[in-house]
Structure 1
Amino acid sequence: MRTKYPVIVVGAGFAGVETATRLSRRGVRVLLIDRNSYHQFQPLLYQVATAQLGVSDVARPLRSITRKRRWVTVLHADVTAIDAKARTVTTADGDTFTARVLVVASGAEPNFFNTPGAEENAYPLYSVKDAINFGARMVELLEDAHREPQSGDLHAVIVGGGPTGVETAGALAETFKYVVPEYFSPDLAARCHVHLVDMVPNLLSAFAEPNQKYAEKRLREVDVDLRLGVGVTEVSPVGVTLADETTIPSGLVVWAGGLKAGPIIQASGLPQGRGGRVDVGMDLSVPGFPGVYVLGDSANMIDAHGTALPQLGSVAKQSGIWAAQNIVADLKGQPRQPFRYLDKGFMAMVGRGAAVAELGRRRFRMQGFPAFIAWLAVHVALLSGWWQKVRAILTWVQDYLSNERSQVFIGTDRR
């Protein structure tokens, strides 16, 4: 079957959803395709993995998002091929769709940098399924260690000292330190250890030094073992080997070492740049490919000053809004406008009541509880759906005031 649409959007992340819904408001017919039937809020997946939030808090059905957008058609399908020149998309069912304008916002995938054993034995945190599998494995190891005290200590290793790695290390360390004694025993909590490894000598390399030092101090306060300035050379089912030839025994390894474009981009015929992503023009279209836009984690975008923009939810969301405006201009035969990114800065949670933030283009720095409140406010604003926002707020209040965990892990370990 071959069907034509004015606009096809591949990927229902921040960029894809914003593009589709904004176009619908302007009366443009859109086909939105994603392998999942839901939109997932990736910045909070580590909290799903550690049972701080439930799946329904970070995942919202696409048909719920678009049910009042009558110009958007949602297709739950796996895209197997994109022909950027012809602006066609083929799904695993063998169906082919053709667009006047094609938007590729298919996201990225973990970059294991060819580290032996990493893809097979480490857990990324880039999807709801990743978070569920990680949580199931963590509970399995806790149960085993509780049942067999003679089995030794439980070691968790986080690879990567960026925001995802820091946030995961802090959440996991607090789970071991405060939650495990409540649900298992203080003895088991004393046998649980968190290690954070990164080949660069500082945490949160994009942040200013005072915030780096604060994050390091805070993680040490919750007993995170920091191994900085040393890379990982191998991940096995029973541990991690570092470049200095030391090993950390572990059956729970989190990979937060970076992202790269997925295979759908590699086979699309689009020109690839840093991280395998597509270098786009200032208007977010792809030079040499008329009618093709690439957004979000699939693209290398730059601001008006030529500075590369980071892979952040706020960048992806704004790119979707801007692309929709330019697509409407395309359909009307009007000129496009260069993308003007409103730099809101960046932030990272380090634990309950503790975060670091650098806000705005001038990078106003915050630490501790004020940054924690700012982090909460920004993430609530980015969550999709009022019920998701309300549930997240209520759960965070409960987590902050107690050591309760009301969420459960459903699923099986992928190994």
Structure 2
Amino acid sequence: MDETLPVIVVGGGFAGVKTATQLGRKGIDVLLIDKNNYHQFQPLLYQVATAQIGVSEVARPFRAIFRRSNRVRVVTAEVTAIDPAGRSVTTSDGATYRARILVLAAGAVPNFFDTPGAEEFAHPLYSVIDAVSLGANLTSLLDHADKETAGDVNIVVIGGGPTGVETAGAIAENVKFVLPSYFSSGLAARCHVYLVDMVPTVLNAFSEKSQSYARKRLVKVGVRLQLGVGVTEVSADAVTLADGTVLPSRIVVWAGGLKAGAVLASSGLAHGRGGRIDVQPDLTARDFEGVYVLGDAANMTDTTGAHLPQLGSVAQQSGKWAARNIHADLTGGKREPFRYFDKGYMAMIGRGAAVAEIGRKRVQIQGPLAFAAWLGVHAALLSGGRQKIGALISWIEDFVSHERSQVIVGPPE
């Protein structure tokens, strides 16, 4: 394509969608490029994998999001090369697109930290496809295990951050409350969920009070904690720990961290922690005028210089702020440094149980109140009305009856 577009946004996650939406409202033409034709709500993928909500609650087509905007055009294609100096991208079908402003919000990929066997045998949980694959394998495992008369059925979750804690808690609740209703009475007693992390606690970014509550709640629901020891190898039927412990496993879930994708690694942009791109206070890339990097692809800081976490709220706010700066770029205005409004942290540990540390002062709540806050915040963040209503109905049904009415379709790996 010879035409130079006003703005290209690579990636349709929280940051990319927010940037495109805000610019479209300001009357600026935007080309959004993503390998999928839908936006996915990553914080709830573990609930798709455990049949608490359906795919339609976490995935919304881009064309539905932008159907009322004649300023945002969507191209479904995978970006395979980035030229920050020329502010252009090339896609897998050989097309090249150039723009005055290039926004890179391509997200991240699972970081297996070169752990032998992890990429081959562990299930990541970063996309809808990952969630459906994990769900199909969990369902298949339980169907087959129900035919057995003996033998443990171990599921190992690696990573004690919010994703690992929420996933382990959800699977353990299924084992404790759902299996006795759907399978023979003996299966639940043979199923065990392990949570493994190299640090000696869960939810490392949270306070000690929140960590203590999370550990107690996980143990109460049946999760077996293996903390303070790293993973040295993942095989088809076991996880080996640094102290020599071998955990036999039927399924392994990897929630051990993220890193920037290969297309960013080869872009020529300055890399920092996690392979992500270090950005300036105004969210632009160093040494490349007119290039912004947002969301999980970027290492962003607040006004004090502190690094910001890879959270949906950070990504959304950076997208909105970037749109303001881009509008200034295109209209002769002045960019401003990103000012992040800290909403705090949350993690659900199971039915009626969560931890929340709200705001910059980290007001701490646990239990049912935190659970209600978690539900409200995540419902508000979901993209569309259909998604919000569907999730709320599923959550109410789960809270009242532990019913799992969602169907996971797909062959196990």
Q: Distance in 2 between matches of 1:98 and 1:255?
A: 37
Which residue type is aligned with residue 17 of structure 1?
A: V
Matched ranges for 1:6-405 at <5 A: 6-150=6-150, 152-405=151-404
Structure 1 residue 147: deviation in Å?
1.4
Q: Distance in 2 between matches of 1:269 and 1:251?
A: 41
Structure 1 residue 153: deviation in Å?
1.5
Structure 1 residue 203: deviation in Å?
0.6
Structure 1 residue 313: deviation in Å?
0.1
Deviations 1:38-70 (A, max 9, x none): 000000000000000100000000000011111
The secondary structure found in structure 2 opposite 1:124 is coil
Q: Distance in 1 between matches of 2:402 and 2:259?
A: 36
Deviations 1:289-334 (A, max 9, x none): 0000000000000000111000000000000000000000000111
The secondary structure found in structure 2 opposite 1:404 is coil
Which residue type is aligned with residue 374 of structure 1?
A: A
Task: Work out whether residues 2 and 95 of structure 1, in 8 Å CA contact, stay in contact via their aligned partners in 2.
Answer: no
Structure 1 residue 403: deviation in Å?
2.1
TM-score (normalised: structure 1):
0.99
Deviations 1:328-385 (A, max 9, x none): 0000111101101000001100000000000000000000000000000110111000
Q: Distance in 1 between matches of 2:62 and 2:246?
A: 44
Which residue type is aligned with residue 132 of structure 1?
A: V
Which residue type is aligned with residue 107 of structure 1?
A: G
Structure 1 residue 185: deviation in Å?
2.1
Task: Work out whether residues 122 and 255 of structure 1, in 8 Å CA contact, stay in contact via their aligned partners in 2.
Answer: yes
What is the percent sequence identity of the aligned residues?
Answer: 64
Which segments of 5 or more consecutive residues in structure 2 lack a partner in the other structure? none
Q: Distance in 2 between matches of 1:57 and 1:365?
A: 29
Task: Work out whether residues 53 and 391 of structure 2, in 8 Å CA contact, stay in contact via their aligned partners in 1.
Answer: yes
Structure 1 residue 239: deviation in Å?
1.1
Structure 1 residue 2: deviation in Å?
3.9
Task: Work out whether residues 270 and 286 of structure 2, in 8 Å CA contact, stay in contact via their aligned partners in 1.
Answer: no
Which segments of 5 or more consecutive residues in structure 1 lack a partner in the other structure? none
Task: Work out whether residues 24 and 69 of structure 1, in 8 Å CA contact, stay in contact via their aligned partners in 2.
Answer: yes
Deviations 1:163-213 (A, max 9, x none): 000000110000011001111022101111000000000110111101100
Which residue type is aligned with residue 188 of structure 2?
A: A
Q: How many aligned residue pairs are there?
A: 413
Structure 1 residue 115: deviation in Å?
0.1
* Aligned-CA RMSD value: 0.7
Which consecutive segments of 4 or more residues in structure 1 shift more than 6 A? none
TM-score (normalised: structure 2):
0.99
Task: Work out whether residues 182 and 403 of structure 1, in 8 Å CA contact, stay in contact via their aligned partners in 2.
Answer: no
Which residue type is aligned with residue 34 of structure 1?
A: D
Task: Work out whether residues 322 and 339 of structure 1, in 8 Å CA contact, stay in contact via their aligned partners in 2.
Answer: yes
Structure 1 residue 253: deviation in Å?
0.4
Which residue type is aligned with residue 361 of structure 1?
A: R
Structure 1 residue 28: deviation in Å?
0.4
The secondary structure found in structure 2 opposite 1:149 is coil
The secondary structure found in structure 1 opposite 2:186 is helix
Structure 1 residue 8: deviation in Å?
0.1
Task: Work out whether residues 123 and 134 of structure 2, in 8 Å CA contact, stay in contact via their aligned partners in 1.
Answer: yes
The secondary structure found in structure 2 opposite 1:115 is coil
Task: Work out whether residues 145 and 153 of structure 1, in 8 Å CA contact, stay in contact via their aligned partners in 2.
Answer: no
